[in-house]
Amino acid sequence: MKALSKKRRHPLAAVALLLFGLLVTGSLYTAAGSISEAKAADTTSASVTDVEEGQKLFVANCATCHGMSAEGTADGPSLIGVGAAAVDFQVGTGRMPMQMQGPQAQAKPVQFDDEQISQLSAYVASLGAGPAIPGEDVLDTTQGDAAQGGTIFRVNCAMCHNAAAGGGALTRGKFAPTLAGVSEKHIYEAMATGPQNMPVFNDSNITPDDKRDVITFLKTIEANGSAGGAALGNLGPVAEGLFVWTAGLGIIIAFTIWLTSRPS
């Protein structure tokens, strides 16, 4: 016992114990790091592949207007820093590539499949930080508040899209499109990126939860339809009142002319 006690009290015992602890800790750290690096390598490889394929698609379909490096030209703006969400919206709704130059890009049949759109988005996202494609958690309308979303929509969006989200005319041949039939993802991306004449509503202006509420409101009124009968194009009370007044006045004038033309 005395001999064992002497060995434990040896001046080098503490050093040996410290070295042993460092050796064990280093081995565990190295093993964990190797696993993490292997996972990261797989993810980076997939991401690099998407970016490379996206660059090929971009050069073949978008570089004419936006430049070979997406730096922009006289015919198209720079895409550096617009983010993946902007590409997913513009290409996913068929607005890009544009069919022809005009006041604004219009929705048309989509020219790329989902994988190609994802690759284009990955390439543009690699050029600079920007809004990302939203996740399913902020698109789940079952978690949204339609009443709160209606309030936010009327304050921020109704002046262009009208209170029923039917769309409306703007200046110089531009217009705010109807929001009926637009997917939840594309509505969110439009708010986050501000396409065409639309302002950007970032998370400081309208939070992700509030965006989800707006989407919930839009999907609710789309599902319920017009509660007041004929929607008359959802032009709004002023335009609808003017239409009724003009039509009614025309009927009265026509009836008056008919009465006065009858022989007495």
Task: Count the neighbouring beta carbons within 10 Å of the beta carbon of residue 166.
Answer: 19
Please report the pLDDT score of residue 47 as a whole number: 82
In a domain, 147, yes or no: yes
Coil vs helix vs strand at 39? helix
Q: What is the CATH number of the domain that holds 165?
A: 1.10.760
The residue written with tokens 């009124």 in the block is 221
In a domain, 106, yes or no: yes
Q: Are residues 143 and 221 in the same domain?
A: yes
Say if residues 123 and 76 touch (Cβ distance below 8 Å).
no
Q: Are residues 119 and 139 in the same domain?
A: no
Q: Are residues 154 and 61 in the same domain?
A: no
The residue written with tokens 């543009």 in the block is 124
Q: Read off the DSSP letter of residue 1.
A: -
In a domain, 174, yes or no: yes
Q: Are residues 114 and 194 in the same domain?
A: no
Say if residues 105 and 95 touch (Cβ distance below 8 Å).
yes
Give the residue from 91, 113, 132 where a domain finishes: 132
In a domain, 51, yes or no: yes
The residue written with tokens 């988005």 in the block is 121
Coil vs helix vs strand at 124? helix
Give the residue from 90, 107, 132 where a domain finishes: 132
Enter the tokens of residue 179: 């929001």
Say if residues 105 and 153 touch (Cβ distance below 8 Å).
no
Q: Are residues 126 and 139 in the same domain?
A: no
Q: Are residues 151 and 101 in the same domain?
A: no
- Distance of alpha carbon 107 from alpha carbon 92, whole angstroms: 9
- Please report, rounded to a whole number, the percentage of residues in the chain having pLDDT higher than 90: 58
In a domain, 29, yes or no: no
Domain count, the chain: 2
Q: Are residues 144 and 128 in the same domain?
A: no
Q: Are residues 84 and 175 in the same domain?
A: no
Q: Are residues 74 and 145 in the same domain?
A: no
Say if residues 125 and 193 touch (Cβ distance below 8 Å).
no
Q: Are residues 139 and 219 in the same domain?
A: yes
Nearest 5°: CA angle at 167, between 164 and 171? 140
Q: Are residues 210 and 197 in the same domain?
A: yes
Closest CA to 85 of 48, 120, 136, 47: 120
Please report the pLDDT score of residue 239 as a whole number: 67
Helix (H) / strand (E) element for 38: namely helix 13-61
In a domain, 160, yes or no: yes
In a domain, 35, yes or no: no
Helix (H) / strand (E) element for 204: namely none
- Distance of alpha carbon 175 from alpha carbon 173, whole angstroms: 7
In a domain, 92, yes or no: yes
Query: Which tens digits make up the pLDDT trace of 37-67?
Result: 333 333 343 489 999 999 999 999 999 999 9
- Distance of alpha carbon 52 from alpha carbon 55, whole angstroms: 5
pTM of the model: 0.71
What is the extent of the structural domain holding 85?
44-132
Nearest 5°: CA angle at 32, between 31 and 35? 90
Q: Are residues 85 and 150 in the same domain?
A: no
Q: What is the CATH number of the domain that holds 89?
A: 1.10.760.10
Sign of the C-alpha dihedral computed for residues 245, 248, 252 and 254 taken in this order? positive
Mean pLDDT by 10 residues, the chain (264 residues): 53 67 69 43 58 95 94 93 95 92 90 95 93 94 96 95 89 91 96 93 94 97 74 64 84 88 72
- Distance of alpha carbon 33 from alpha carbon 45, whole angstroms: 18
With 0-12 / 13-18 / 19 or more C-beta atoms within 10 angstroms meaning exposed / middle / buried, residue 163 is: middle
